Each structure stands twice: as C-alpha cells, then as structure tokens.
A = this chain, B = another copy of it.
Amino acid sequence: MENSSGQKKFATIKDYILSQVETAAWPEHSRIPSENELATQFAVSRMTARRALQELTEQGVLYRTQGVGSFVASPKSQSSLLEIRNIADEIQRRGHFHKAELVQLTSLPCPAVVATALGLSRNAPVFFSLIVHYENQQPLQLEARYVNPEQVPDYLAQDFVLQTPHEYLSAVAPLTDAEHIVEAVLPDDLTRLHLKIPSSEPCLRLTRRTFSRGGAVSFAYLTSAGSRYRLGGHLTIHPKT
C-alpha cells in the first residue's frame, strides 16, 4: 500500500507535482503530464495517478479540462491584506468590466427562492442570464440573474440576440432600489466551472434583489472568488427602512 518512504503512493505523486509547480519547473498554465504518463512514470495504476491530480485540482494547484489535459493553475493572488483596494473603483467598474461574456440567456421555470423574491408563482417562466465577468483575462465573477418577464422591456423579451451583456443589463431600468446580502459560501458547480476555482475556495456571494416602480424586477447571485476579489475601504451600512 505504501512505498519505501512510508508514504501513500498518491501522496508521493502529489508531492512530486507540487515540487515541480513550486520551483516553477512547470510554469503557470503549462500542460503537465497526463494521467497515463504519470502512472507509467511512477509505476502505479492510472486511478492512483488520477487521484493525485484530482486532489491537487480541488486544492487549486491545477486545473483540468476533459479531452485536453491538466495544467498548472495561477497562484492565488497573495496581495497583502493591508493593500486596501478602493471599493468605489470596483463598484464603478461593475457595469463595465474589461470583458464580460454572456454564457446563457434563456427562459426558465422559476426556482422557489426566486419565485418568492419576485412575487411570481412557482415554475412561472423567468428570464435567466448567466454572465462571466473578466478582469485581466481572468474570470472574476459569475452573475446568475433572474428577471421578472413582466418587467422586461418588450423588445428585450422578443429579441434574445444581444451584442453585449452590458447592453442587456442596462435594458432593465429604471431600478429604484435594491437589497443586498453578502455571505460566504463554497462555490457551486456552475461557479467552479466558470471561475475555474477549486471547490474548496470560499467565495463571497452577493445576493441582490432589485426593484422598479412596478415591483421586484430581478434576483441575482453575484459570486466572486474570495482570493481574487476583496472588498476594501470603509464599509457603512444603511439599514433599509
């Protein structure tokens, strides 16, 4: 079960990979040996090599793509805790990230929590959009937004082909109020997939409900990888009256 050093086999392979990554012998985003290659090299079965790769993926050291290979992940940003980023910049930028990608835009049966939030009946159709926001070519934030179809401008409801997410976002207006909840969560599969983060990396999730004069308009989850996105500056709370 164990090798001569008293270590589990998969742990030996993990250590090897980690040393290669730490010494930058395998640089960031470079392709590393495949499961079969590692299995041969260490004289273990593919499943054992696979386990090493998989655990390192969960720990954020690697990322893997089916059909392509395994790669060295970007190190988590190690910016000092004291380096305070001005949140105002972030807020302002939130409408126009360097790049944003509209991943999905469909009509969905309304999930329960959204139905409550928007005052719709369960399973009534809502417009669902999924947007990945990038910064420096890095996926930064995943936005899952549910929009009350009755509040969507007609041209938007009938024409799903939009050039930019920003165009889509600004189409829902005017917003007169909003509610926010911030919580710490582990990423769900969707978030993991799009932000390319390990399942063990905690995220800040901002749950936002927006209103127009007509009532609740949209309900959104904005999930940001905790290691990449920091809320800084002063933080003052204005309780909703």
- Number of this chain's copies in the assembly equals 2
Docked CA distance A7–B45 (Å): 27
Q: Which residues of B contact A232 (CB under 8 A)?
A: 180-181
Q: Closest Cβ of chain B: how far from A52's Cβ, in Å?
A: 15
A226/B183 in contact, CB under 8 A: yes
Centre residue among A186, A226, A235 by max chain B CB count within 10 A: A235
In the complex with contacts A183-B226, A185-B202, A226-B184, A237-B235 CB distance below 8 A: yes
Please tell me if A59 contacts chain B, counting CB pairs below 8 Å: yes
Tell me which of B179, B199, B207, B240 contacts A58 (CB under 8 A).
B199
Q: CB-defined interface of A206-241 with B at 8 Å, one 1/0 digit per residue? A: 010100000000000000001000111111111110
Please tell me if A30 contacts chain B, counting CB pairs below 8 Å: no
Please tell me if A32 contacts chain B, counting CB pairs below 8 Å: no
A:81-98 near B, CB below 8 Å? 81-82, 84, 86-88, 91
Q: Which residues of B contact A238 (CB under 8 A)?
A: 233-236
In the complex with contacts A186-B59, A202-B203, A231-B181, A237-B240 CB distance below 8 A: no
A183/B230 in contact, CB under 8 A: yes
Q: CB-defined interface of A63-90 with B at 8 Å, one 1/0 digit per residue? A: 0000000000000000011101011100
Q: Which residues of B contact A231 (CB under 8 A)?
A: 181-183, 237
Chain A interface, number of residues (Cβ within 8 angstroms): 42
B240/A179 in contact, CB under 8 A: no
B240/A234 in contact, CB under 8 A: yes
In the complex with contacts A233-B237, A236-B236, A238-B234, A181-B81 CB distance below 8 A: yes
Q: Which residues of B contact A185 (CB under 8 A)?
A: 184, 202, 226
Tell me which of B81, B113, B179, B239 contacts A207 (CB under 8 A).
B81
Docked CA distance A180–B84 (Å): 8
7 A-B contact pairs sorted by A residue (CB < 8 Å): A86-B240, A87-B237, A88-B239, A182-B235, A183-B231, A184-B185, A186-B202
Other A-B pairs beyond A58-B58, A185-B202, A186-B202, 10, CB < 8 Å: A81-B183, A82-B116, A82-B117, A84-B181, A182-B231, A183-B226, A183-B230, A234-B239, A235-B238, A236-B236
